[in-house]
Amino acid sequence: MLYIQRPSNYIVSLIILLPLTLLCITFLLPLSAYLSNPLVAGSSCVGGTAGNVRAAPAADDDAGHRPEISVLVGVHTTARKHSRRHLIRMEYALQQTPALRGAARVDVRFALCARPMPPEHRAFVALEARAHGDVLLFDCAESADQGKTYTYFAGLPSMLGAGAGGSRPYDYVMKVDDDTFLRLDALVETLRAAPREDMYCGVGLPFHDRAFPPFMLGMGYLLSWDLVEWIASSDMVRREATGAEDVTTGKWLNMGNKAKNRVNVFPRMYDYKSAKAEDFLENTIGVHQLKQDIRWAHTLEHFNLTTLELFNF
C-alpha cells in the first residue's frame, strides 16, 4: 500500500510556479518598469503594472519621510566620455549621504543626444543605461549651440510623464556641464531658501547686474519646474531654440517675461584655479573647468571625497 501518495501534477506545478510567480512580482516587474522609465524606477513598486509607470512625486526615503525638495541634475555630456561619466557617477553617489537624502531628493542623470552615435558608443551607452538607469537620451544633434538645451528642458515633461494638472515630478531641474563638480549639500541648502516657482538660479552674467542678471553661466544653472513646462509649451522658445546655450536660456526667459526670481550664486560656483586650499571657497557650490583628470583629483581631494585607509599589519 502506498502511504505517501505521489503529489499530483497540479501540486507539482503549483510548487514550481509559485516561487517563479513571486520572483516575477518582486524582481521582473520593477526591472521592466526600470527599463521603460529609469527616472521613476525608485517608486515603481508603489504603482500598478509595468509599463504603466507614472512620474511619481518625490519618493519617500527609507524612514518614510518625504524630503522637502527634489532636484533633477542633468549632466550634459557626450556619448564617448564613458570614463568621465564613471567618475562623475561615483562622486555624486558618494555625496548621497543620509543627511542629504533627508533634506532633498537629488537625482543625477546624464543627458545625451542620440546623434551622432557611432556603434561602439551606442553599445557602451546602452550598457550604462541598462546597468545604472541614469542615462537620458534625447533626439538631438550633439552640439551645445544647436538646441540641445532646448531639447533637454522641452523634452523632460513628456519624458517624465508629467501630464496636465499632475503634480510636478521635481521642484527644480538643473543643467550642469560634465566638467563641473557640484557639492550637492551646498546646492540643496541654497535651494531650500529659494522660491519654488518662476525661479532661475546660477552664476549671473554680466557680473555688475547682481540682483537680476540677464542670464546664468552654462557651467550649471537651475529652473523651477513651472519654467520647464513653460519652455516645453512655448512656440516662441521653440523658434529661438538655437544659439549659445546659456545666453539663449536667459533670452527665452527675458523675452517671455519669466523668471522674476533670480538667485545669483556668484561667486560660489567658479572656475578651478589651482590645487591650493585658498583657491577653493569654503561655501563652494561648484567648481568648473575640470577637464583634466588631475583637476578632478585636486578638487575631490580638497572636498574630502577621497579618504583612503591604509591597511597596516
Ligand X SMILES: *[C@@H]1O[C@H](CO)[C@@H](O)[C@H](O)[C@H]1NC(C)=O
Q: Which residues bind ligand X (CB under 6 A)?
A: 302-304
Which residue of the chain is nearest ligand X when measured via CB?
A: 304
Between 124 and 303, name the residue whose CB sits nearer to ligand X.
Answer: 303
Cα–Cα distance, 84 to 289 (Å, whole number): 13
Closer to ligand X by CB, 266 or 303: give it: 303
- Are residues 290 and 181 in contact, defined by beta-carbon separation less than 8 angstroms? yes
Q: Which is nearer to ligand X, 24 or 305 (CB)?
A: 305
- The least distance separating ligand X from the CB of residue 295, rounded to whole angstroms, comes to 16
Q: Which amino acid is at 21?
A: T
296 Cβ neighbours under 8 A, 6+ residues apart: 87, 181, 290
Strands 215-216 and 204-205: antiparallel
CA distances to 7, 12, 241 from 4, in Å: 9, 15, 76
For ligand X, the closer CB: 293 or 301: 301
* Shortest distance, position 86 Cβ to ligand X, whole Å: 24
To the nearest whole angstrom, how small is the minimum distance from the Cβ of residue 254 to ligand X? 36
Report strand pairing: 261-264 vs 220-224: unpaired
Task: Name the residue nearer to ligand X (CB basis): 188 or 228.
Answer: 188
Torsion over CA: 150, 241, 201, 232 (sign)? negative
Query: Shortest distance, CB of residue 193 to ligand X, whole angstroms?
Result: 21
283 vs 292, beta carbon nearer ligand X: 283
In angstroms, the CA 162 to CA 170 distance is 10
Shortest distance (Å) from residue 163 CB to ligand X:
42
As measured in angstroms, the least distance from the Cβ of 287 to ligand X is 12
- 167 bridge partner residues: none
Residue 182: in which H helix or E strand, if any? strand 181-182
Neighbours of 48 (CB within 10 A): 11
Residue nearer to ligand X on the CB measure, 68 or 279: 279
Do residues 221 and 249 lie in contact, with contact meaning Cβ atoms separated by under 8 Å?
Answer: yes
Question: Do the beta carbons of residue 74 and residue 88 sit within 8 Å?
Answer: no
What are the angstrom distances between the C-alpha of 20 and each of 90, 196, 311?
Answer: 34, 46, 44
CB of 304 to ligand X, least distance (A): 4
